[in-house]
């Protein structure tokens, strides 16, 4: 057994990046495989780059063929982060690649590249997520994220309303990729004023992770601000594509989510009482007595603490027809980065490093609720720091037979493709 990682006997290693460079993809919510399922998007940096200092270091956006190890550059960008990279992704079935770059002016914008001809054109705004048909894209302002949640932002030009607590001219923007137009579709102010909760008067709010539903008719987005106890308060909204019919599904502690289908979404969240929710948002939890209670709570066993806080994966019906239901509470007992398989039958997710430093890679059968541990990967201490952390961020290929992960178990960020076909068939 390799002390750095161990794989399930039914899993084989198809390919791995290597050499003098660090390679990674980024977040877990899109597939890096091209429409033909042959090449994978890779971000490449010199191996010595560890700090995330903004635009001073550029990354190569590359295509990797795992079967023969070939890597070729198709672009370069200073708009990247360790968590989400340049948000590089394929535009529907067109075979063109979209990723974010920085203009000389400092503005973050998307570029669309034909990877066969090299032709490229600039988009009117940055891109976060793209609808499945390739027509629409959504984005927050990455400058606002850089100021208030740096792990997900870019060191780009800040919006004019950056100091405003809840601006009406900033939020989530909708791009028509066919027409080349962009407009604000859901503002920070709109989020704050929808079923408002108490919050510190001088604390800025921001929106993050706008993600289309499978049909593209709706999107989910996180509304966040720092409460007085300096922790993050989050609400999960689901809206129509035009920003209408905004509904709050979860609040207080909300983390990673994934659409199961057009009507259901799984979310790692707490389902707590309105009293506790308001205590957190208003800052009561920052008072001395409350802080002491929090310290006591943190000393409880993880299982007991989880039950007391009611913190699990939940399935939410975005139409409001059904109450939230726990999702795999016995098998999926930790927050992670879930992605649904192309056939909808499996979920792949991961865990953060345990006390011994190992991250787990997990398959979960949606129907039988069976958990299969794909492998464990040791995460060196240097890669556990906030702005530098390396999560596995598992992603499916387009056939549902392969997984791609980022891992730093070798002491350097690299990408690995695993064949799990024997486990899912």
Enumerate residues 6+ apart whose C-beta is below 8 A from 60. 43, 44, 45, 73, 75, 76
Q: Measure the CA–CA gap between 99 and 366, rounded to whole angstroms.
A: 32
The string over 171-201, giving b where at least 16 C-beta atoms fall within 10 Å of a residue's C-beta and e elsewhere, is: bbbbbebeeeebebbbbbbbbbebeebbbbe
Separation in Å, CA 248 to CA 195, 308, 309: 8, 23, 19
Structural domains for the chain = 25-343 (2.120.10)
The full DSSP string for 365-394 is ETTT--EEEEEEEE--GGG-STTT------
* Helix (H) / strand (E) containing 146: helix 142-148
75 touches 60 (CB < 8 A): yes
Q: What is the 3-state secondary structure (H, E, C) of 358-370?
A: EEEEEEEECCCCC
Instruction: List per-residue pLDDT tens for the chain, 425 residues long.
Output: 466 999 999 999 999 999 889 999 999 999 999 999 999 999 999 888 877 667 889 999 999 999 999 999 999 999 999 999 999 999 988 889 999 999 999 999 999 999 999 999 999 999 999 999 999 999 999 999 999 999 999 999 999 999 999 999 999 999 999 999 999 999 999 999 999 998 888 999 999 999 999 999 999 999 999 987 778 999 999 999 999 999 999 999 999 999 999 999 999 999 876 666 666 676 665 556 555 665 665 565 556 666 667 899 999 999 988 999 999 999 999 999 999 999 999 999 999 999 999 999 999 999 999 999 999 999 999 999 888 899 999 999 999 999 999 999 999 999 999 999 999 99
Q: Is the dihedral of CA 350, 352, 355, 357 positive or negative?
A: positive
Q: Is 304 helix (H, G, I), strand (E, B) or coil?
A: helix
Own/partner long-range contacts of 402-406 (Cβ < 8 Å, ≥24 apart): 402/14, 403/348, 403/361, 403/374, 404/25, 404/32, 404/33, 404/40, 405/350, 405/361, 405/377, 406/24, 406/25, 406/26
């Amino acid at each position: 057994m390799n002390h750095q990682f161990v794989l399930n006997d039914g899993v084989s290693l198809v390919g791995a990046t290597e050499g003098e460079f660090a390679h990674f993809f980024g977040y877990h919510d899109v597939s890096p495989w091209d429409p033909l399922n042959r090449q994978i998007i890779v971000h490449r940096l010199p191996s010595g780059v560890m700090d995330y200092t903004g635009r001073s270091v550029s990354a190569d956006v590359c295509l990797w063929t795992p079967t023969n190890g070939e890597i070729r550059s198709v672009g370069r960008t200073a708009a990247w982060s360790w968590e989400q990279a340049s948000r590089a992704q394929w535009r529907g079935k067109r075979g063109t690649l979209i990723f974010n770059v920085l203009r000389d002016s400092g503005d973050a914008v998307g570029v669309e590249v034909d990877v066969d001809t090299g032709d490229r054109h600039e988009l009117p705004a940055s891109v976060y997520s793209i609808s499945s048909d390739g027509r629409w894209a959504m984005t927050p302002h990455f400058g606002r994220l850089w100021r208030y949640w740096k792990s997900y932002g870019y060191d780009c030009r800040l919006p004019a309303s950056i100091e405003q607590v809840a601006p009406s001219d900033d939020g989530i923007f909708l791009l028509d990729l066919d027409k080349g137009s962009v407009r604000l579709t859901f503002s920070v102010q709109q989020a704050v004023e929808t079923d408002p909760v108490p919050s510190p008067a001088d604390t800025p709010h921001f929106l993050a992770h706008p993600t289309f539903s499978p049909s593209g008719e709706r999107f989910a987005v996180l509304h966040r601000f720092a409460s007085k106890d300096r922790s993050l308060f989050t609400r999960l909204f689901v809206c129509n594509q035009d920003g209408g019919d905004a509904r709050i599904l979860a609040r207080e502690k909300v983390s990673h989510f994934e659409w199961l289908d057009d009507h259901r979404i799984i979310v790692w969240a707490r389902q707590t009482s309105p009293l506790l929710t308001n205590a957190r948002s208003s800052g009561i939890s920052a008072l001395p007595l409350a802080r002491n209670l929090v310290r006591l709570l943190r000393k409880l066993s993880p299982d007991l603490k989880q039950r007391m806080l009611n913190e699990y994966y939940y399935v939410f019906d975005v139409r409001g027809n059904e109450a939230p239901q726990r999702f795999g509470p016995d098998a999926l007992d930790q927050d992670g980065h879930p992605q649904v398989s192309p056939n909808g039958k499996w979920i792949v997710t991961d865990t953060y490093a345990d006390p011994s430093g190992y991250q787990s890679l997990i398959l979960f059968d949606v129907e039988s609720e069976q958990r299969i541990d794909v492998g464990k990967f040791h995460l060196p201490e240097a890669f556990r720091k906030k702005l530098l952390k390396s999560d596995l961020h598992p992603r499916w290929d387009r056939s549902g037979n392969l997984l791609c992960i980022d891992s730093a178990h070798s002491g350097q960020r690299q990408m690995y493709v695993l064949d799990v076909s024997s486990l899912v068939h």
